[in-house]
Amino acid sequence: MTTQLELLSEHGCFGGVQRFYKHDSREIGLPMRFSVFLPQQASHGPVPAVMYLAGLNCNEETFMAKAGAQRLAAELGLALIAPDTSPRGANVAGEANSWDFGVGAGFYLDAKQAPWSQNWRMERYITAELLPLITGALPIDAGRIGIFGHSMGGHGALTLALRHPGLFKSLSAFAPICAPSQCPWGRKAFGGYLGNDASGWAAHDATALMNQLRHAPYPGGIRIDQGLADKFLAEQLYPELFESACAQAGQPLELHRHAGYDHGYYFVASFMAEHLHHHARQLGAVTA
């Protein structure tokens, strides 16, 4: 398959442009979509960017439409990148039932088991295909890329950043699945994608990855925001386990707990500014 970008739509947005793209993915083996916001500063040369990984039942449009990020990103000179969460159209039995993490939801890893292993290669897609494609075609600085995400995408942001620390220069998350090996969502997804031998799961578990470290991979700090009214907090997310692992590794972590906030995009939008400032500081963004 080729890697030529097809521009699906473009919209003026806070002095910059909001674009939606499609391309044939060699890693996924299917067409994939993603969205990019380019601030006005990108017209003068490459700008830093933050990649956002969305959660279950979302796609490349969700973040751009719901998170309210573009206005401040335009001021900070940050590009925003949002890939789709999962392969589409593989015609695998059960693909549409991603709501329970049993199948379908990409989980930002490369599946090892059939039938998922043929197309569910989200880690390779993001790190080895999509980012080089975007930075080669658009005015985005490949040396200044941060990553963040929400829920399943928060899990993806943490694990991809810890597995590829040279690729991502800043890191944050909203209500991430912090210890998927220990929660029902993660165990079901890992069993389906990686197999029932749990010894291989730690490589895709943010808490387990951090527990293996004896130094801070992100000395500038990691930020996590978590709503205390989140119905998934007690049984699925386990931020306290990641907090403990960071303390053991000497990794600076800002874990902000917010009373009254749930798991949805009203929560994400409420603290988006803090996350964008977090990334802008570490990526050396230039304001308008």
> Starting from the edge strand earliest in sequence, which strands make up the sheet with 140-149, in order?
6-13, 16-24, 31-38, 79-83, 47-53, 140-149, 170-174, 222-227, 253-258
Q: What is the residue whose two structure tokens read 């449009």?
A: 61
Q: Which is the catalytic residue, given 35, 225, 230, 279? A: 230
The verdict on whether 151 is a catalytic residue reads yes
Type of residue at 146: G
Q: Which is the catalytic residue, given 204, 263, 275, 279? A: 263
The verdict on whether 110 is a catalytic residue reads no
Q: Which two tokens stand for residue 6?
A: 């097809």
Q: Which is the catalytic residue, given 25, 86, 98, 151? A: 151
Which residues, other chains included, contact 178 with Cβ-Cβ below 8 Å and sequence gap of 6+?
A: 154, 155, 158, 206, 207, 237, 238, 239, 241, 242
What radius of gyration do the chain's Cα atoms show?
A: 18
The verdict on whether 263 is a catalytic residue reads yes
Pairing of strands 31-38, 16-24: antiparallel
- Where in the sequence numbering do the catalytic residues fall? 151, 230, 263
